[in-house]
Amino acid sequence: MAAIELDVYIDYLCPWAYRGAMWLEHVEGAGRIHPRWRMFSLSENHRRREGVDPTPVWEKQPTAKGLPAFRAAVAAHEQGEDAFNRFRIALQKARHAEGHQVDDPKTHRLAAERAGLDLTRWERDLQNADFLTLARDHTEAVRKGVFGVPTLVWPEGRSYYLKINDLIPADRAVALYDAIESIHRFAEVIEVKTPESEGTLAA
């Protein structure tokens, strides 16, 4: 069975995206999927929901929450897809498993070191990194109806936003993916909610 290519939208700020990424790492390791990691800015999403100035946050406030992390990831991507993925995982773990500040340059350098990047090249590329990739990914995400992270988008266009409140063990990761993919086959199902997510569960 060929691995399915999924677009997965993340923001390094988000713990849901971190747990989702750790889960999908196991699923990818089992040969089931090939994730293509895309950028979705929660800062921009929140700002647009407020209905304020339509100028994108990366043009108006390039140091807004999450944006420096995106730039650091863009610089890592200059060393190839594998280098980027190692950096992405290292940065997500540094933030959400160890409590480092996601937009701190020291955190970015730590992630680059752990990812085994050519640090001299990465620092040079960081100086030239821009928000073109973020702008493209975010615009495409909005077109697809993405509103949060992580959102998984299948090749035929259906997508799912997930909230995972704990890390999924490796021996259960594929089973969770299979369950979601099974629902995915039913076009009639457009939403699955729990009382916890809706906030209606009695105390």
Write down all domains in the chain, each with its CATH number in brackets: 4-198 (3.40.30.10)
pLDDT higher than 70, residue 174 = yes
DSSP alpha helix (H) spans, the chain: 15-29, 42-49, 57-60, 67-77, 81-96, 105-114, 119-128, 132-143, 170-184, 195-198
Question: What is the pLDDT, as a whole number, of residue 72?
Answer: 99
Q: To the nearest whole number, what is the mean pLDDT of the chain?
A: 95
Contact status, residue 153 vs residue 7, Cβ threshold 8 Å? yes
Mean pLDDT to the nearest integer, 4-20: 98
Mean pLDDT to the nearest integer, 162-185: 95
55, amino acid identity: T
Q: How far is 185 from 165, CA to CA, in rounded Å?
A: 25
Contact status, residue 11 vs residue 57, Cβ threshold 8 Å? no
Contact status, residue 36 vs residue 7, Cβ threshold 8 Å? yes
170, amino acid identity: A
pTM of the model: 0.94
Contact status, residue 47 vs residue 59, Cβ threshold 8 Å? no
106, amino acid identity: K
Q: What are phi and psi of 7, to 5 degrees?
A: -85, 125
**130-154 pLDDT per residue, tens:** 999 999 999 999 999 999 999 999 9
Question: What is the pLDDT, as a whole number, of residue 201?
Answer: 60
Q: Which residue carries 């089992």 as its tokens?
A: 30
For Cα atoms 45, 49, 52, give the angle at the middle one, nearest 5 degrees.
105
Question: What is the pLDDT, as a whole number, of residue 184?
Answer: 86
Question: What is the pLDDT, as a whole number, of residue 51?
Answer: 80
**27-74 pLDDT per residue, tens:** 999 999 999 999 999 999 999 888 878 899 999 999 999 999 999 999
Residue 8: strand pairing partners: 37, 152
Q: How far is 62 from 201, CA to CA, in rounded Å?
A: 40
The encoded tokens of residue 148 equal 């949060």
Question: What is the pLDDT, as a whole number, of residue 202?
Answer: 54
Question: What is the pLDDT, as a whole number, of residue 43?
Answer: 97
pLDDT higher than 90, residue 187 = no
